[in-house]
Structure 1
Amino acid sequence: MRLLKSKLALLLLCFSILLPAAASAHTPATTGPAADLRAALGQLLGEHAFLAIAAMQKGYDGAPDFNSAAGALNKNTDDLTAAVASVYGKEAGDAFKAIWSSHIGYFVDYVKATAAKDEKGRQAAVANLEKYRFEQADFFAKANPAYFKADAIADGLKMHINHLLMAFDSYVNKDYANTYKDLRTAYAHMFLTADALAGGIAAQFPDKFPSMGQANPASDLRSALGRLLGEHANLAILAMQKGISGAADFPNAAGALGENTDDLTAAVASVYGKEAGEAFKTIWSSHIGYFVDYVKATAVKDEKGRQAAVANLEKYRFEQADFFAKANPAYFKADAIADGLKMHINHLLMAFDTYVNKNYDAAYGDIRTAYAHMFLTGDALSAGIVGQFPDKFHGPADMAKTTVWMKLNSGEFRINNAVTYMDTTPFLYHESTFIPIRYLAEGLGAEVTWDNNTQTAWIKAGSDTLTFWIGKNYMEVNGMRKEIGSPVMLHGGRTSVPVRFIAELLGWDVQWNNSDRSVTLTKAMDMNH
């Protein structure tokens, strides 16, 4: 993988600067072939979703930077192709590229038809996307028949397609709140896709990618921080573009950036406590405000204002670096963090300045650089945090418990330190809380398959198979019938079951928090090696 190799080279440099020379031999590793594969695929697939939605917006608006946005999307395809080829060979990479590129073309067709109010053309594009998902799923199933199931992959691709179409349709309908909600969901979903692909590849080639089959909290932290920091960079640049253009959706883009800050704050607070989280949020939010000042000054050609914003960003980076150095003095060095933040600031300013100067190819090159750099930042932060608290980030054999958290009518889903987003939500029905079973199962390493004809879902965990039927008030465990007490429901296209039933079936403790209407599942883990 071209991008992965360059990433690892920079990562080694980051670690040599940020981490002590002699780390504990018992510190869980955030890196390694399997963890690096997962991180690289998450970065590329997340970037694909973001660039696709941005390009669709630009295409519909007839924006002058559409071709450059589409070009960046194509370069992302090249990097994904190189990743596939590195595992399955050049011929397979070429085959992947042809199929993958086709679905980008169908999204372009959908945008063009929408702009022309050609409903027949829109439906033709949707039909082609439907064919695409099965062709793409078949490619992976044939490449890895033991671990990739075509139906399951096709279901995941259906979600990806729907996320992008929903984000675009909301944008066209000027429903900007849902536009950016759907954008964030589409982006987060691609990291789940990356996890599934990386897991299957690692299982297929265990000698190349050891240890992927078991839960890895250290890798989870790395993935979560990379995802959130990468999203920050992309949303910040998009919001700056919208701000200078006076776009109607600027407040919503800025709002999505604020929600990303909330998620980053929660991640910091989960490690260092609520007070530290609030301090982080104040500092982090300040640099977003300084970027806004820079945009406003640029819009009115106020060079003095621009320089003032740059000066404030310079102060910010040292304040932010000092926060992390004090939180983790053994592993985080203030000067090194300040240098990394200088790069982040420069990347965003360069991406904005080139956009303002209508050098769009350079702008999107800078956007990709800014995005990739944040994953290096996430890598370094996660390594330092794991080094500081090694006991919190051991695998299942070492962990005291695993915690799963979700909330009624919210797509946020947490397993320990990893935060993802569901495309459907828990809901209340006849005083029972129902949860989408796929996310719980896949988050804990189980495999989920679905048969739409029979409305049947199977969950395979090790040697056990759980079977659910929509509308039935019973299920089976290895062929043995278990009464549920309520019918299994299809909600938002996802099989949903009462949380109490599935928790008791699998040995989890359930806690209900009435104040925020959230559910927390906990389970003690085996401490034996």
Structure 2
Amino acid sequence: MHGQLWRVLPLLCAGLLFLAPSTPPVVAAQTAPAPADLAIRFEALLGQHSVLAADLMRSRIRGDDDFVQAANAALGRNTTDMSTLVGQLFGKPAADRFGPMWSEHIVELFAYAGALAGRDETAKGNAMEELTEYEEALGDFFAGASQGRLSQAAARAAVVEHVGHLTGQADAYAAGNYAAADDLYRMGYQHTYDLGLTLAGTLLPPADAATLREPLWRLRSQLGKLLAEHAVLIEDLTRAAVTNTPDFTASGDMINGNTRDLAAAMDTLFGAAAAKQFQSIWGDHVEQLVAYAQAGGDQAKKDAAAAAMTGIEQRLGEFLAGATGKRVAPAELTAAIRKHDMMLMRHADAYAGKDYATAHDVAYETYQEMFDLARTLADAFGANVAARLPKGGAQTGYGGMASVVSSFATPGR
């Protein structure tokens, strides 16, 4: 239905990744990252993969050719980064095995979305059959890399769930059930992000994996998860705002859910009063970012939203500095939040101008930047505060925020 484009893009997606094993990374003259740092990067890249793959599938369903090409390039960058990281964590032979399997599973997700766009049940069934094969192969790869610490059944089940989230959200999106699609979008991100921690906990040697259970490392991981999701969902919402698409309301519900989850984390770390204050400021922050995107070509409205954000950034900087006991200066935190907002405004401008390549580049960098902010905050909050996180095993993200977030299930709390 879309001519030669659909036959070329899967090859591009695969080709980008196949370049990674043959091009060894440049080694800088600096201390190698700690295994725990690499583990957090691994879960971050897996979570990012989930949302990029979902965005790619949705754009193909819409028939949005220009957006598809930019989304495909962003996903190719993510898969290249993942293949390189697998090599850093587990060695070049592991990366050489991982790369082709991961690339092919993306190609089949792409084909699945194409079948939905073309209403071709035969092609959809063929894509699902191929996906099933790659699910098994990827599960077996992770089980083998764990040297017996991760069972084949558990590894396969994790990959099957990941693919199920992506195909399920695509099915719902194609049917116009945007609320269900977005529920699965968030579930897919959260599951895949946590899958990264689970895999790291079983694939790394036990001494290295134990570091991931330390309070500060758990807080870095979980704050990064929530803050990066905020960036992803704001970008999704601003795209819907710019184009006034029918999924705007569902996108708004997604970002509201993330805001409640962040407030729940603040409740756990600092108590209900701090959580209420944070939720109010953060909600204002989200509202002005959306107002900026909705302003379109009305420069006066954009300027008003940007001006309002300046005041909100200062309030957030003061709040977070207080939470750290002033171990980080308010001006430093305000500047970090300002940088974040400027990147999101730049993304909205690029998307509105249909410069999708720039929009995706900015979105990619914004996602990564949130982990720097998460680490700054976690280290400043300190181990005593971090120890308030619930505890658990690798299968629960070492406790994470799951049990906390459930207490903020309703917007009115």
Write out per-residue CA displacement over residues 96-131 of structure 1, whole angstroms, 9 at most, x where no aligned residue.
111001011101111111111110110111110110
Relative distance call for 1:109 and 1:210 in structure 2 (3 A) is closer
C-alpha distance in 2 between matches for 1:403 and 1:371: 26
Counterpart of 2:265, as a letter, is A
Alignment of 1:250 onto 2:244: no
1:67 to partner: Cα distance: 0.8
Counterpart of 2:215, as a letter, is P
Kindly indicate whether the alpha-carbon contact (under 8 Å) linking 1:81 and 1:96 is maintained by their aligned counterparts in 2.
yes
Relative distance call for 1:227 and 1:210 in structure 2 (3 A) is closer
Alignment of 1:105 onto 2:107: yes
1:19 equivalent in structure 2: none
1:87 to partner: Cα distance: 2.7
1:71 equivalent in structure 2: 73
C-alpha distance in 2 between matches for 1:238 and 1:385: 30
1:415 to partner: Cα distance: 6.6
1:370 equivalent in structure 2: 366
1:293 to partner: Cα distance: 1.4
2:210 equivalent in structure 1: 211
C-alpha distance in 1 between matches for 2:145 and 2:280: 48
User: Which structure has the greater CA radius of gyration?
Assistant: 1
1:361 equivalent in structure 2: 357
Alignment of 1:53 onto 2:54: yes
Find the residue that maps to 1:307 and give its secondary structure. Answer: helix
Matches within 5 A, 1:390-469: 392=388, 418-420=400-402
2:379 equivalent in structure 1: 383
Kindly indicate whether the alpha-carbon contact (under 8 Å) linking 1:331 and 1:388 is maintained by their aligned counterparts in 2.
no
Kindly indicate whether the alpha-carbon contact (under 8 Å) linking 2:182 and 2:251 is maintained by their aligned counterparts in 1.
yes
1:221 equivalent in structure 2: 219
Kindly indicate whether the alpha-carbon contact (under 8 Å) linking 2:46 and 2:192 is maintained by their aligned counterparts in 1.
yes
Kindly indicate whether the alpha-carbon contact (under 8 Å) linking 1:241 and 1:355 is maintained by their aligned counterparts in 2.
yes
Q: 1:187 aligns with which of 186, 189, 211?
A: 189
Q: Which runs of 5+ in 2 are unaligned?
A: 1-19
Find the residue that maps to 2:295 and give its secondary structure. Answer: helix
Counterpart of 1:316, as a letter, is I
Counterpart of 1:318, as a letter, is Q
Alignment of 1:118 onto 2:120: yes
Write out per-residue CA displacement over residues 261-314 of structure 1, whole angstroms, 9 at most, x where no aligned residue.
00000101111111111111111111111112112221xx21111111111111
Matches within 5 A, 1:9-408: 33-63=34-64, 64-203=66-205, 206=207, 209=208, 211-212=210-211, 215-298=213-296, 301-387=297-383, 389=385, 392=388
Kindly indicate whether the alpha-carbon contact (under 8 Å) linking 1:243 and 1:250 is maintained by their aligned counterparts in 2.
yes
Counterpart of 2:41, as a letter, is A
Kindly indicate whether the alpha-carbon contact (under 8 Å) linking 1:228 and 1:260 is maintained by their aligned counterparts in 2.
yes
Kindly indicate whether the alpha-carbon contact (under 8 Å) linking 1:330 and 1:388 is maintained by their aligned counterparts in 2.
no
C-alpha distance in 2 between matches for 1:297 and 1:390: 40
1:388 to partner: Cα distance: 6.0
Relative distance call for 1:378 and 1:166 in structure 2 (3 A) is same
More helix by share: 2
C-alpha distance in 1 between matches for 2:385 and 2:120: 57
Relative distance call for 1:47 and 1:253 in structure 2 (3 A) is same
C-alpha distance in 1 between matches for 2:63 and 2:380: 45
Kindly indicate whether the alpha-carbon contact (under 8 Å) linking 2:263 and 2:275 is maintained by their aligned counterparts in 1.
yes
C-alpha distance in 1 between matches for 2:101 and 2:160: 15
Relative distance call for 1:391 and 1:166 in structure 2 (3 A) is closer
The count of residues paired between Structure 1 and Structure 2 equals 377
Kindly indicate whether the alpha-carbon contact (under 8 Å) linking 1:290 and 1:309 is maintained by their aligned counterparts in 2.
yes
More strand by share: 1
C-alpha distance in 1 between matches for 2:306 and 2:374: 24
Relative distance call for 1:33 and 1:171 in structure 2 (3 A) is same
1:455 equivalent in structure 2: none
Kindly indicate whether the alpha-carbon contact (under 8 Å) linking 1:331 and 1:387 is maintained by their aligned counterparts in 2.
no
2:8 equivalent in structure 1: none
1:202 to partner: Cα distance: 1.9
Relative distance call for 1:347 and 1:62 in structure 2 (3 A) is same
Find the residue that maps to 1:65 and give its secondary structure. Answer: helix
Relative distance call for 1:403 and 1:91 in structure 2 (3 A) is closer
Matches within 5 A, 1:466-481: none
C-alpha distance in 2 between matches for 1:200 and 1:321: 37
Find the residue that maps to 1:145 and give its secondary structure. Answer: coil
C-alpha distance in 1 between matches for 2:166 and 2:253: 19
Counterpart of 1:61, as a letter, is R
Write out per-residue CA displacement over residues 60-99 of structure 1, whole angstroms, 9 at most, x where no aligned residue.
1011211101110111000000011113333431321110
Find the residue that maps to 2:401 and give its secondary structure. Answer: strand
Counterpart of 1:335, as a letter, is A
1:38 to partner: Cα distance: 2.4
Counterpart of 1:97, as a letter, is G
RMSD: 2.7
Relative distance call for 1:84 and 1:187 in structure 2 (3 A) is same
Find the residue that maps to 1:132 and give its secondary structure. Answer: helix
Counterpart of 1:233, as a letter, is A
Write out per-residue CA displacement over residues 327-371 of structure 1, whole angstroms, 9 at most, x where no aligned residue.
333423101101101110111011111111222111101000111
C-alpha distance in 2 between matches for 1:390 and 1:65: 40
C-alpha distance in 2 between matches for 1:187 and 1:102: 20
1:215 to partner: Cα distance: 3.2
C-alpha distance in 2 between matches for 1:268 and 1:165: 33
Find the residue that maps to 2:210 and give its secondary structure. Answer: coil
C-alpha distance in 2 between matches for 1:119 and 1:183: 23
Find the residue that maps to 1:221 and give its secondary structure. Answer: helix
Find the residue that maps to 2:325 and give its secondary structure. Answer: coil
C-alpha distance in 1 between matches for 2:151 and 2:383: 37
Between 189-198 and 136-145, the greater mean CA deviation after superposition:
136-145
Structure 1 ranges of 4+ moved more than 6 A: none
What TM-score comes out, normalization by structure 2 length? Answer: 0.85
Counterpart of 2:256, as a letter, is G
